[in-house]
Every structure is written in structure tokens, then in C-alpha cells.
Amino acid sequence: MTDAGAAADCARFAPPDERIRPGDAAHYVPGQPDMWVFVLVEALIFASYFVIYMLHRVQDPALYLRSQERLNAGLGVTNTLILLVSSWFMARCVQSSRERRYDVAFRQVLFTMVLGLLFIGFKLIDWSRMVSEGLELSTNEFFSFYYFLTAIHVLHVLIGFVFLIVAAYQLRSPLRRSQEIVETCATYWHMVDFLWVMIFALLYVIR
Amino acid sequence: MRAVAVQAAPVLPSGLFERLAWHWRYNPKLEFWIAWYSMVFFYNLFGVVFVGMTRVMPPPQPWWDTPRVVQWFNDNHNGLLVGFGIIFLVSGLTAACNALIGYSMRRMSVSRAFAYSYIAIYSVSALPGMLLTAIALTVGAMRPERDPELIYWLYDMGFMCFVGTMGIFLIGTLVWMIAILIDKNRVLPKWFGYLNICNLITEFVVATSWVFKKGVFAWNGAIAFWVDTAVFAVYTVAFIYLLRKMIKREDFGDGPLPA
Amino acid sequence: MNRDDGELLLFWLVPVLGVTWLVAFLVFPGFVHPMSPTMSAEQVAAFYRDPENLPRIRYSMVVFNWFCIALIPFVSLIVMQIRRMSHRTPILQYCYLGCLTGGPVLFFIANLFWLLAAFRPERRPELTQMFNDLAWVTFTGQVGFLVAQCVFLALAIFLDRQARPVFKSWVAHFNLLIAAALAPASFVALFLTGPIAWDGFLSFWVRNSAIALWIVVMTLVLGKNIYERRREAGIAR
Amino acid sequence: MTATSERRLLTILLVLSAITLISWWIGAQHGQGEFRLNGPVTFGVLLIATVKVRLIIGEFMEARHAPRLLRRVADAWLALLVSSLLAIYFIGAGFHT
């Protein structure tokens, strides 16, 4: 599908006062631009964490490799797939809401939430298994980074639930249904997803 | 009975003192500007004292042994005592900053409860934010002949109070964030509302300094101190600028004062 | 009972509490002849161990612990006066409100350090001395909120531009004078002897008399305002 | 519209999942016993992560319809991050071989 096609489609389904016009599809920022400013700041903060992690990793790669063997990579992959699917539901939710199929969109945001809860559930299982094996925040440098990065990420997931609830609340009643707010919430949720993709690569799979 | 006869403001004169006198007499936004300049003055002074005079920022090492800590106090003896004396003197200016922020919430389409809880929370913020630190380090520097173990304890108290006190700023920031995001009067932009999330998360990040004495999560670590301080600096500069914009936008005219 | 009667109750608390503050101040043996910062750790420990002193330290500080926070309702009455002033914004009122907890709460912390020092005077003398230092530095040096409070009130009075201002302008000048008298005490830790030291002329005598004078004068002008307002309201009724 | 955009999003999801599994597979032990320092694996894994992040931003977040500035900033962030990570990794690895 080309961009022009997408724009035409958007125009067909969009209400008359919608900001999308066939011609300016290439100039359309999804959601509030304010959220994108936030995403940029968060991306920079996390980038600094990742660079600091890498700087420490190269000083003692043997320790990091040895510690990585103790991680449950299967659970890491599962969680990555869960977040990807949740993101997919959220992206579809934005589409459905744009096409004014609000009931479908509402169901999709609920699925997103369920998958988010599943992600946190697996994370808790992972943490409790590691703690029971004696691997804690202060065990060594790698596990400090591991617990720190995953915990800060889970904190973002928890904040993400607030955004998902806002989106669900918007979709629920015909009195609200602001497409802009739904897109803003979706943007936050996808940020949580792509940050996890980097965390997954850096903690679980690089050698 | 109480209303003062309306006086037309004369044109702004030239010359610094004449201008200041004119503003004092006729500027309808004088109350705002007093609070705003107090805030700017305070944050600048805070930077000068904490970075330049007392050497508390960037913080010294948490893993130093006792003699090294005593030496740190001896090296900075006068800087600590004079610097924190200044901080003791001007600590009340934080109230001006909080008042301005509280006012921004009163202009929003939110309950007064937001402004009141912010002012209530932040009226004690100076205590964990800087005064406990200043008291502990002042007492540490005051008597170089004190038992080194006690100086060491005061050192820990000073820096952990500085870096590791979180709740007031966490909940205060949360209150302001919610107010900005649900506000319909567009008093402050939404991106700043979201930026509050970043500031709020730094308060979670610094909790690691209670666990680590070395490395990136210690009280002078790259993550627990440097990244957090960078976020806080961006946040502070942003709100100082946005509050200025808010004041400029206020339209009071120059009519008679309310009785 | 109407709204203003409640204010009267808060107002008449002040003289009653003022007496307890004065009594507690005189009972504490460290205030009558202010303790010298040059005392050695052993001397400080001996001061707290002295069976003459120990009960007086404990009971006076317990009384302060009960009643020092009671300054806040009094200062809240001043906030009510600022509210009546002819300002364009509530900013100065908020500034004043933000300062109001700082002073008493910091005194409260100094009070805790004194009580802790007196709790186990048999402790190592160095520890007792450290608590004593923390108490005196917190008590003497923490004038920032009081200074700011005086300056904000002075500004509020100056900007109260109406035919009959709430406070006369001498009250503003008086508050600025008090602020100036309090200011030197913030550098208390810089010297162990001389006027700035915590038993010195500026940091002890001038600072504490200024606070006492401020409470007395502000009580009087506040009382005058409250009663005048009631009288006027009575005539109007 | 519905069908095309649904199909497009589904394709993206399948691609993302598939390369996630691939990156897991190339990072696995492959019967070697213990993890070793491995430049090509790290390079491959970070490259796959880059592709994934770019797909999420472009497709799920719909940045491909966004103004050029936004796309440029997103790409610049990603490029800067991954190239500094790789640079640190390979310069650091030089000291350990």
C-alpha cells in the first residue's frame, strides 16, 4: 500500500473536521506532538543508560557473559513476543478508532492491557526465580544493571496502563472519543515496546 | 471606599533606577515578577553554592575511607560554612517558586486542591532537598578535631539526605503533572506535563543510592547522579521558562485594584 | 459563633502559648547563660549529666516539643490579613503560606536533637557533643524562613495600595528590620567565638530578642486589626 | 482499507516476531557449553534490534506518515545509539582479545 493510498483511505474514514487531508498525509503527527517530545526525552535517557551499560560491560566481558548464562532467555523471548503482540493490538486499535469502529477498538485496547499484565506476570516469575537462586540487585554489576533496567522498564509499563485506561475511557463513551488522545496513548505504549526491544538485545542476547 | 482613583501610568522612563521605580509603582504584574526573579535568583545561587563553594555537586566518593572524608571536610572548611550560611539565609525563597507553581495550578481548570496540596507538600521540600544536608555538613565542618567516625557519619547523613530523599518531590511532581495534563485552559503545555513523568522517574532511580556505595548507582554514580541531575536541570530550566511565558501572557490591564 | 469569633480563639491562644514559650526558654539551662561553642566534649557531656540540669533540659524541651508548632495558627492569622489586602494575585499570600511551616518545623528538629542528647547522657561525650552541635546549628542558623516571611509580609504591605491599608507602612519597615536582625545568625557555624558564634551577641541575643519582639508587636497589630474589623462589622450590622 | 492496513500490520508483526526468534537463535549456546565473547553475534543482534525499533517507530507508531523532521530525529537517535554501542563494544573487545 502506498502512502497516497493510505491517505485516501484515511480521508474516506476520517470525520470532516479531522486534520488528515489527502494531500498532507506526509505531514501528520500521530497524537499530540507533545507526546513525541516526551518520547524523545525518554529515548535519550534510556540511550544514556544503554551506553553506560556498554561502557561497563566491555571492562569485564567475562563476568557479564557468565552472568548472562543464568538468565532465562526463553522467558525473555516470550516477553518480547508478548509486548510485540500487545503493540500490534494497540496499532490496530488506533486504526479501528480512526475508522470509527469503537467497539472493536475498545476490545483491542483491552487485549493490549491483558498482554501488558501477562508481561508483568512473567517478569515477576523471572525475578522471583532469580532471587530464589540468590541472584540479587547487588550480586554483581551485571545483575545490578539487569534489575535496574528491567525494573525501570516495568515502571514504564505500569505508567503505560494509565495511558491504556485513558484510551479505553475515551473509546467507551460517544461523548469523548478523541482520536488524538487515543493516538497519544498508543504512542506511549509503543515506546515501552521499542525500549524493551533494546533492553532484551542488550541484556539477554549480545555476547 | 477602598478603591484608589485610577492613575494613568506615565511612560517608562530611561535609566535603571527610574525604570525600577516605575515598575514598582505601575507594573501590574509586579507580584509575579518579584516571585519569578526570586526563583531565578535562588536557583542561580543554589548552583553557585553547591557547585562552586561547598563542592557538594558533583558529590565526592561514597567509598572513601574515614581519613579521606576528614580531609575532604578540611579542604572545604570555609566553602562549606560560608556557602551553607548563604543557603540558610535564602532558603525561604523556595516559597516564591512554590507560590508561582501553585498559582499556575489555580489558573488551570482543576480543583483548588491541586494548588493547595502542592504548596503544602513543597513548603517542607527545602528540608530534605537541601537544609538537612547543609546542617549535617556544616556540623561536620565546624569542628575539624571531632572524632573522625562521627565526621564520617555526618558525611553520610549529608549526602544521603541530599540524594536519597525522594517522596516529597515524587508526589509533588505527580500532583503538578496531573493538573497540567487534565487542564483545559492550556496554562502550561502538555509536553511539560509529560516531562514531569521523566522527573518523577528520576526519584525512583536515585533509590539505588541506598544500596550501592560504588559504581553507577551510588550517590555520585553516572546513572543515580549524573543522568538524574541532567533531567532535573532540563526540567527546572523548562519550568522557569514556561512560568515566565505564563506571566507574560496574563492580561491584567492596568485598571483599579480590587478592593 | 461566626467565622471571626473562631479567629479570636486562635488569636487569644498566642498570649497563653507565649507564656509557655517564655517559661520553657527560661527553664532550659542552655539558654539562660547560652552554652559556649568552645566547650569541650567532656564539658558538654558533663552539662547534660549534671543532675541539676538534666530534668530542666528534658522538661523544657518537652514543652517546646508540644507547643512550638503553635506558632503556625498565629501566622495563619497574618495570612488572613494578607488575603484582605488589595493585591492583583494571591502570589504573596502563597509565598507567606509556603514559609509558615518552615520556621517551626526546623525548630522542632533542633528540639529533637536536644532531647536525643539528653536521652542517654551516659553516652560517649563525643556523641553528646555532636547532638548538641546539631541542635544549636539548627536552632540558631535556620532563620531563612523567618527572614523570608518578614520580607514577604513587608512586600505585601507595600503593595497594598488602598486608601486604608490593612497594615500601616511602619509594620512593613518593622518586619524588614527584624529580617535584618535575624540574617547574621545564618552564618553561626563560621565562628566559635565572637558575635556570630551561637552564644554571641548577634546570633543569640539579637536574634532571639528580635523573634520575641516580632511575636509581641505582631500580636498587638494583629489584635488591633481583628478588633477594629469586628467593630466595623458590628456597626454595619 | 481495513483489509490492507490489517494485512500490513499483521505482516509487520510476523516479521518482528520472526527476527526476534532469529536473534534468540543466533545468540543461543549451540552446544558450546558456555557463552564466549562473540563480535559477529553482537553485531547481528544489535542490527536486528535496530531494524525492530525502526519498524515499531515507523509502522506501529505511524512515524512514516509524520513530518520529515520527526522521522529524521528518530533515525538520528537510533543511528547514534547503535553506532555508539557498537563502537564501545568493538573498541572494548580489542583490549580483551
Name the least confident of B130-134, C8-12, C112-116: C8-12
Residue C209 burial by CB count (10 A; 0-12/13-18/19+): exposed, middle or buried?
A: exposed
Residues of A engaging B, defined by a Cβ cutoff of 8 Å: 32-35, 37-38, 41-42, 45, 48-49, 52, 56, 137-138, 141, 144, 148, 152, 155-156, 159
Percent of chain A whose pLDDT exceeds 70? 87
Residue C237: per-residue pLDDT: 52
Torsion of CA C145, C148, C154, C157, to 10 degrees: -80
Residue B4: per-residue pLDDT: 45
| D and C adjacent (3 or more CB pairs under 8 angstroms) | no
Residues of chain D with Cβ-Cβ distance to A51 below 8 Å are 81, 84-85, 88
Q: What is the mean pLDDT of residues B216-242?
A: 94
- As for how many domains chain A has, the answer is 2
Residue D31: per-residue pLDDT: 59
pLDDT confidence bin for C231, thresholds 50/70/90: confident
Instruction: Give ipTM to 2 decimals.
Output: 0.89
Mean pLDDT computed over every residue of chain A: 87
Q: What is the mean pLDDT of residues C137-151?
A: 94
Which is nearest to B79 in space by CA: B99, B104, B54, B101? B54
Residue B20 burial by CB count (10 A; 0-12/13-18/19+): exposed, middle or buried?
A: exposed
Do A121 and A194 fall into the same domain? yes
| Rounded CA separation A159/B170 (Å) | 14
Q: pTM for this structure?
A: 0.89
- The per-residue pLDDT for range C176-212, each reduced to its tens digit, is 999 999 999 999 999 999 999 999 999 999 999 999 9
Do A73 and A153 fall into the same domain? yes
* Most confident range, picked from A60-64, A194-198, D89-93: A194-198
Higher per-residue pLDDT: C54 or C3: C54
Nearest residue of B to residue C103, measured between CA atoms: B92
Do A49 and A125 fall into the same domain? yes
pLDDT confidence bin for A27, thresholds 50/70/90: low
CB neighbourhood size of C80 (10 A): 16
Q: Which domain holds residue A26?
A: 1-30
| Rounded CA separation B187/B78 (Å) | 44
Distances (CA, A) of B188 to A193, B115, B184, C93: 29, 14, 10, 22
pLDDT confidence bin for D97, thresholds 50/70/90: low
Which is nearest to C92 in space by CA: C164, C166, C163? C166
When CB atoms are compared, the residue of A33, A34, A52 closest to B223 is: A52
CB contact under 8 A, D62 and A5: no
Q: Is C97 on the interface with B (CB under 8 A)?
A: yes
- The per-residue pLDDT for range B96-123, each reduced to its tens digit, is 999 999 999 999 999 999 999 999 999 8
The dihedrals phi and psi of B213, each to the nearest 5 degrees, come to -105, -10
Residue A21: per-residue pLDDT: 42
Task: Determine which helix (DSSP H) or strand (DSSP E) holds C182, and give its type and residue range.
Answer: helix C169-182
Q: Is B223 on the interface with A (CB under 8 A)?
A: yes
Q: Where are the domains of chain C?
A: 3-232
Residues 19-38 of D with CB under 8 A from A: 20-21, 23-24, 26-28, 34-38
Q: What is the mean pLDDT of residues A41-48?
A: 96
Do A3 and A44 fall into the same domain? no
Residue B258: per-residue pLDDT: 56
Residue A22: per-residue pLDDT: 41
- The per-residue pLDDT for range B191-203, each reduced to its tens digit, is 999 999 999 999 9
Q: What is the mean pLDDT of residues A154-177?
A: 93
pLDDT confidence bin for A176, thresholds 50/70/90: confident
| Rounded CA separation B250/B35 (Å) | 15
When CB atoms are compared, the residue of B34, B147, B259 closest to C86 is: B259
Chains in contact with B, counting 3 or more C-beta pairs less than 8 Å apart as contact: A, C
- The per-residue pLDDT for range B52-74, each reduced to its tens digit, is 999 998 999 999 999 999 999 99
DSSP per residue, chain D: -HHHHHHHHHHHHHHHHHHHHHHHHHHS-TT-SS----HHHHHHHHHHHHHHHHHIIIIIS-GGGS-HHHHHHHHHHHHHHHHHHHHHHHHHHHTT-
Percent of chain B whose pLDDT exceeds 70? 94
Do A87 and A150 fall into the same domain? yes
A:D CB pairs within 8 Å: 166
B254 pLDDT exceeds 70?
Answer: no
Contact C52, C28 (CB under 8 A): no
| Residue whose C-alpha cell reads 566559635 in the numeric block | C192
pLDDT confidence bin for B5, thresholds 50/70/90: very low
| Rounded CA separation C21/C13 (Å) | 12
pLDDT confidence bin for A8, thresholds 50/70/90: very low
| A and C adjacent (3 or more CB pairs under 8 angstroms) | no
Kindly report whether the peptide bond that precedes residue C55 is cis, defined as omega within 30 degrees of 0: no
Do A122 and A146 fall into the same domain? yes
Residue A151: per-residue pLDDT: 96
Return the C-alpha cell found at D73: 530525529
Residue D20 burial by CB count (10 A; 0-12/13-18/19+): exposed, middle or buried?
A: buried
| Rounded CA separation C54/C33 (Å) | 15
CB contact under 8 A, B139 and C189: yes
Do A131 and A199 fall into the same domain? yes
Cα–Cα–Cα angle for C53, C182, C81, nearest 5°? 110
Residue A76: per-residue pLDDT: 92
Percent of chain A whose pLDDT exceeds 90? 74
Q: What is the largest CA-CA distance in chain A?
A: 61
Do A168 and A198 fall into the same domain? yes
Residue B11: per-residue pLDDT: 82
